[in-house]
Amino acid sequence: MQVATDFLIIGSGIAGLRAAADLAALGDVLILTKADEPAETNTGYAQGGIAVALGPDDSPALHAADTLAAGDGLCDEAAVSVLVGEGPRYVRELSEWGVRFDGEADGALAFGREAAHSVRRVLHARDATGREIARALWARVSALPRVRFRAGARAIEVIVRDGVACGARFIEHGRIGEVRARATLLATGGAGQVFLETSNPPIATGDGVTLAWYAGARVADLEFVQFHPTVLAVEGRPRFLLSEALRGEDAHLLNAAGERFMTRYEPAGELAARDLVSRAIAREARRTGAPIYLSMAHLDAAWVHDRFPNIAAACRAAGLDLARDRIPVSPAAHYAMGGVETDLWARTSVPGLFAAGEAACTGVHGANRLASNSLLEGLVFGARAAIAMATPPQAGGLTHGRVDAAALRPVAATDVPDERALRTLMWHDVGLVRERAALDAAVPVLEGWRRAARAAWRLAEADPALWRLVSLSTVGALVARGALRREESRGGHYRADFPRRDDVHWQIHIVERGHVEAEAPEQ
């Protein structure tokens, strides 16, 4: 099955749809999306909102300052400046395209407050902002005559000829297909599924990083994973996210004795940065040997239910009342700061290959993402990708003077991994708290699994389950290698054996160049 198009977009979240909205004016667009339901994306689950400097007391400069502070010394300032500077224009455009953000009684936009933002800056649509944005983008893009969708089509390989990306191979209903395109965009979202505990849906397996890495592209900052402090921790229930906006609206974290404990660990209390709150929760749970809870019982119950209807419904399904009960919480892998390295125009190091949204590493998040900046990143850099994709590729692609990680170590032959074993290893040894001995042991195991999964998949390429294992083990190995190499603590990366930030040695990015396999002969 051979398909031709001008522009290939892999992924139907905010980044892919926003790029498609502009590309459709320039040529034929094909969007591949691996879920049968195209709306099944991380975007659709985003709750709290989209950060943007549109409020009367706000400015792009203030938004940039908060973003840089959260990024803990590793943000790319030029990328941050693009994000906060162009964000207002693209968010206004979303409103013109029909996104209904919540408003105040006087009709002005209602800005929510979230941790580490110095002002109220987060536009929201109740607690289902991502769903509302995706609804409007989908309505716009699916009406464009030059856009085609293939749902249930999973990209498995970027086609590279003479060093230039020219499309992708994919699996659809057990058959392999091939799309030829003049520009290909990876808009494949996050990688939370690499960890046992995650807020991310099953589609979030880091495919963009895997696709890019095997195409020989550079990937960066993968050791930086954001762990969200509060998912619903009820045995047998999905790890539903309990948005930061709850704490922004004064929800308290309590130990089993009913005491607020956060200020014992962090002066900013419940509104400290996510990684700090996550580790404080883990420490307090260890100290007390009991669960940690989130409570809104001191707030007006009707207001709580009205402001957070979806979260209240998820709690109700677990037999809990968000406004009255103590809600058991735990941290979970939430967001990948690293990804496929790009320049300010979403160009990767392979000409013809672009990346945007959570799959990309533009450098806007540095070592830690400011809450609600990721929808904005997908929007702004999705639009920028469209502009760059319309330009013919130049040999050479992205060139950045960054640090390349050490070459792969030799490893012994291993069996194909069991998914649960892989995710459990990542959660315990490459998760919230890391240290050398565990990482030293984990890296060769993950690398062995990566090779075994890749070899098995090569013999059965139309098997999507095997490809999923290839992606989980590839991303897992890359995250673990970065975590072992970075001997300091910064942002989302915490090393118990190197608990401090070390700017002298580590104010750098860890970059790995992808592993190019022999090219298949031209068909």
Ligand X SMILES: Cc1cc2nc3c(=O)[nH]c(=O)nc-3n(C[C@H](O)[C@H](O)[C@H](O)COP(=O)(O)OP(=O)(O)OC[C@H]3O[C@@H](n4cnc5c(N)ncnc54)[C@H](O)[C@@H]3O)c2cc1C
Under rule CB under 6 A, residue 33 binds ligand X: yes
Q: Using CB atoms within 10 Å of the CB of residue 291, give its burial: 0 to 12 exposed, 13 to 18 middle, 19+ buried.
A: middle
In the complex, the smallest distance separating the C-beta of residue 24 from ligand X, rounded to whole angstroms, is: 17
Q: Which stretch binds ligand X (CB under 6 A): 4-12, 260-268, 290-298, 398-406?
A: 4-12
Nearer to ligand X, 332 or 442 (CB): 332
Under rule CB under 6 A, residue 366 binds ligand X: no
Nearer to ligand X, 185 or 477 (CB): 185
Please list the alpha-helical segments (H only) found in 390-463.
Answer: 419-429, 436-459
Under rule CB under 6 A, residue 475 binds ligand X: no
Report the site for ligand X in 110-149 (rule: CB under 6 A).
129-130
Binding residue count for ligand X, defined by CB under 6 A: 42
Under rule CB under 6 A, residue 20 binds ligand X: no
Report the site for ligand X in 332-351 (rule: CB under 6 A).
335
- Cβ atoms within 10 Å, residue 118: 13
Amino acid in position 311: I
Residue of the chain from 10, 82, 99, 478 that contacts ligand X (CB under 6 A): 10
Under rule CB under 6 A, residue 363 binds ligand X: no
Under rule CB under 6 A, residue 278 binds ligand X: no
In the complex, the smallest distance separating the C-beta of residue 210 from ligand X, rounded to whole angstroms, is: 8
| Residue among 4, 399, 361, 383 at smallest CA distance from 166 | 4
Residue of the chain from 20, 21, 32, 246 that contacts ligand X (CB under 6 A): 32
In whole angstroms, what is the distance from residue 499 CA to residue 505 CA? 14
Under rule CB under 6 A, residue 386 binds ligand X: no
* Tokens, residue 102: 């919540």
Question: Token match 């989980």: residue?
Answer: 472
Q: Are strands 122-123 and 111-112 parallel, antiparallel or unpaired?
A: antiparallel
User: Which listed residue (218, 274, 468, 486) is catalytic?
Assistant: 274
Under rule CB under 6 A, residue 45 binds ligand X: yes
In whole angstroms, what is the distance from residue 228 CA to residue 242 CA? 9
423 is catalytic: no
CA diameter of the chain: 67
In whole angstroms, what is the distance from residue 378 CA to residue 288 CA? 40
Residue of the chain from 15, 262, 405, 430 that contacts ligand X (CB under 6 A): 15
Number of H helices, E strands in the chain: 16, 21
Q: Over the Cα atoms of the chain, what is R_g?
A: 22
Under rule CB under 6 A, residue 253 binds ligand X: no
Q: Tell me the C-alpha to C-alpha distance, in Å, between residue 252 and each of 127, 230, 306.
A: 18, 11, 19
Under rule CB under 6 A, residue 184 binds ligand X: no
Under rule CB under 6 A, residue 473 binds ligand X: no
Q: Which residues are catalytic?
A: 274
* Residue ranges that bind ligand X, judged by CB under 6 A: 10-16, 32-35, 41-43, 45-50, 129-130, 154-155, 187-190, 199-200, 203, 207, 241, 335, 357-359, 372-375, 378
